Structure 1
Amino acid sequence: MATLIQLAIGISLAGACGCRLFVTLLVLAASTIMGRITLEGSWITHPQTIVILILGTVIEVMAFYRPRLDNLMDAIALPSAVIGGVMIMASVAYSLPLPWRWLVAVVWGGGIALILQSASTLIRAQLTTCSGGVNNGLFATIELAAALGITLMVLLEPRITAIAVLVLVGFALRYLYVQIKERYDKRTKTESVIR
């Protein structure tokens, strides 16, 4: 049962990383210090790590409210979210045997963060194209609320939070599939007209 709770926490926090990395890590650090979540090792509770997480959170939140800079941040956020998802899952699922822990961390932790961050990046790019970045602030607020909400909900009920994150991943996968299919169909139609 403890392993399932650890996996639920890891899935949830990886999903939160797909929304905002530093916010998730900062809340995780605070939760670990308060004893609400147990991690292997104390890397996240080190005072220097806390300072870096606070600075990173401030920069991350402010940057995503600046049009055009938010799109640049997406280029950094995508690989960072994947790494964060892997690190968190590996740290939380400490009761799994080592090879399984890293397999679960890469596939579930990194995969969930990748899917949610990819959908987020694509939505932000479309908002920038359609509105010139005017609506990006609203989307940044939604992402921030999602990251905080998921991270705080996992403290109360990790299993339900994990299910909610997996449903969100399902919607994100559907959205990404539709976008890729539309682009492929448009390209195929253009190539057939050229011939």
Structure 2
Amino acid sequence: MNLILSMLIGVGLSAACGFRVFIPLLVMSISALTGNLELASDFQWIGSDSALYVFTIATILEMIAYYIPQVESFLSSISTTVTAIAGTIVMSSFVVDVSPLLQWSLAIIAGGGTSTVVQASRNKIKNVIGLRDVASNNFSLLSLEILTAVLLSSLLIISPVLTLFLIAIIILILFKKFIFNVSIKFIRF
């Protein structure tokens, strides 16, 4: 896999970490075990049976935990840090054949930054549409976030170029619908 495509997949999976931390790691583990994903040599452990078991359990626990209001509130309070770490790990596992300085610089900036921006944008959208206080009780919204993380992660492994194109379209639609409308409302006051 060439470096640019690997980095784009890494950024995309880091973005998926912004929705749910462990789903992209689980998809990566399954893909690496089945031979559909090439990881950097230092991150071959992601494709091990042990990692698969850990990521499966962590994913199940994370999905269940978000449906419990008190736990969801706690997870939301630590999610920025955890999301940044997961995004950094995901991105660094795709940056191959470069110096360690470049690998970790790209991982922290592109991976950690992307996952954090997605997570913060998710929270911003909840605030804009008035769901921040009731998000923990909103089954459909939480389910949509899980579905988004699963689809984004899976599609990036299956067809990365098409998926990245779809992501760009979705970002433009969301930006126009939520961010642009909010700024117009503030200008009117």
Task: Place the TM-score, normalised by the shorter chain, in its bin.
Answer: 0.7 to 0.9
> In the alignment, what sits opposite 2:144?
142
Q: CA deviation at 1:156?
A: 1.9
Is 1:15 the counterpart of 2:15? The answer is yes
Bigger shift: 164-173 or 50-59? Answer: 164-173
What is the CA–CA distance in structure 1 between the aligned matches of 2:179 and 2:88, rounded to whole Å? 21
Q: Which has the larger radius of gyration?
A: 1
Paired residue for 1:87, among 74, 86, 89?
89
Q: CA deviation at 1:111?
A: 1.1
> In the alignment, what sits opposite 2:29?
29
Is 1:127 the counterpart of 2:96? The answer is no
CA offsets, 1:71-109, max 9 Å, x none?
221122221111111111111111333222222111111
Q: CA deviation at 1:168?
A: 4.8
Q: Classify 1:89/1:43 alpha carbon distance in 2 versus 1 (closer, same or farther; 3 Å).
A: same
Q: CA deviation at 1:9?
A: 0.9
> In the alignment, what sits opposite 2:107?
105
Ranges in structure 1 where 5+ consecutive residues have no aligned partner: 190-195
Contact 2:17 2:115 in 1 (8 A): yes
Amino acid of the structure 1 residue aligned with 2:64: M
Paired residue for 1:96, among 92, 95, 98?
98
Amino acid of the structure 2 residue aligned with 1:127: L
CA RMSD of aligned residues (A): 2.8
Identity, % of aligned positions: 22
TM-score (norm 1): 0.79
Q: Classify 1:132/1:106 alpha carbon distance in 2 versus 1 (closer, same or farther; 3 Å).
A: closer
Contact 2:28 2:47 in 1 (8 A): no
Contact 1:6 1:93 in 2 (8 A): yes
Q: Classify 1:111/1:132 alpha carbon distance in 2 versus 1 (closer, same or farther; 3 Å).
A: closer
> In the alignment, what sits opposite 1:49?
51
Amino acid of the structure 2 residue aligned with 1:70: E
Q: How many residues align?
A: 182
Amino acid of the structure 2 residue aligned with 1:85: G
Bigger shift: 75-84 or 106-115? Answer: 75-84
Amino acid of the structure 2 residue aligned with 1:47: D
Contact 1:3 1:96 in 2 (8 A): no
Ranges in structure 2 where 5+ consecutive residues have no aligned partner: none
Q: Classify 1:167/1:111 alpha carbon distance in 2 versus 1 (closer, same or farther; 3 Å).
A: farther
Bigger shift: 44-53 or 80-89? Answer: 44-53
TM-score (norm 2): 0.81
CA offsets, 1:157-191, max 9 Å, x none?
11232343355556677757987x79xx7xxx9xx
Is 1:5 the counterpart of 2:25? The answer is no
